[in-house]
Amino acid sequence: MTDSCIIIPCYNEANRLNILAYKTFQEQNNTFDLLFVNDGSTDKTLSVLNNLISELPNTSILNLEKNSGKAEAIRLAVLQLSENYKYAGYLDADLSTSLSEISRLLSVAKTENKTFVLGSRVKVLGASIKRKFYRHFFGRLVATFIDAFILKLEIYDTQCGAKIIDKTLANAIFKDSFKTKWLFDVELLARTKNLNGKDYCKTNILEVPLNRWHDTEDTRISFLDFLKTPFALFKLYSHYK
Ligand SMILES: Nc1nc2c(ncn2[C@@H]2O[C@H](COP(=O)(O)OP(=O)(O)O)[C@@H](O)[C@H]2O)c(=O)[nH]1
Ligand SMILES: [Mg+2]
């Protein structure tokens, strides 16, 4: 066992999991444990994961019988982690950003003594950030609104699916269920701020630009979820402001 656990939420990922990437990384590095959450998948995700973990060190599965969504799947996983972990983190199963990038975020948290490290998709020369135009566009719109009216912490990218959180802080901010389905990252930040104050956030949260992010073709976010975004934003605003 290592001192950190990275959670990978999986919903119908059987055809999308890059088995080789997980294998190679986990065999060559011993930086963190991996916990895959099978969130009531209706495809072969569970058997694919069972095969994968049987060959790998420090890797396990949390199997949820019923689909409960990314936010709830990660929440349940965090709440059942061993007391011995110092850090918890999460990463999208499609490896839009890589395992070595989440590993880099973890070492930043350790060396710079931060309790919350956010991967950030900033498109600059030298970084390989590839996003679909409309996802970038609407993502930026939502993120800009969120920081200006809800968080007020000068965070550029709240929704990036790569985050590291100190385990004690994680226990506190994952305790209650989330109000929204796809904006739970924002709720984690809002809860941190409400719990510890703005000054704490300024010194303990760090946003780190990623070297790589490639949007994959398919998405589990439906058009209906997209249409519901203004309502979700309003919910966040009235609940956390
Ligand atoms: N646990 C769980 N994970 C989900 C669900 N939907 C999506 N995910 C996971 O959330 C991550 C991001 O999903 P993805 O479709 O790539 O979202 P996008 O990149 O934001 O379009 C992946 O690891 C998915 O397996 C769900 O209903 N439950
Ligand atoms: Mg994706």
- CATH for 114: 3.90.550.10
Furthest-apart CA atoms within the chain: distance in Å = 47
| Domain encompassing residue 218 | 4-240
SS3 (DSSP) at 178: coil
Q: Which atom of ligand 1 is nearest to the CA of 220?
A: 15
Q: Whose CA is nearest to atom 21 of ligand 1?
A: 219
Q: Which ligand is nearest to the CA of 93?
A: 1
Phi-psi sector, 40: left (phi>0), alpha (psi -120 to 50), beta: left
Q: What is the spatial distance between Cα 69 and Cα 207, in angstroms, rounded to a whole number?
A: 25
The secondary structure of residue 41, as a DSSP letter, is -
**Domain total of the chain:** 1
139 Cβ inside 6 Å of ligand 1? no
Apex 209 CA angle, 204 and 214, nearest 5: 135
Beta 4-10 vs 87-91: how paired, if at all? Answer: parallel
Residue among 220, 224, 225, 229 whose CB has most ligand 1 atoms within 8 A, to mutate? 220
Per-residue pLDDT of the chain (241 residues; tens, 9 = 90+): 999 999 999 999 999 999 999 999 999 998 999 999 999 999 999 999 999 999 899 999 999 999 999 999 999 999 999 999 999 999 999 999 999 999 999 999 999 999 999 999 999 999 999 999 988 999 999 999 999 999 999 999 999 999 999 999 999 999 999 999 889 999 999 999 999 999 999 999 999 999 999 998 777 777 888 889 999 999 999 999 8
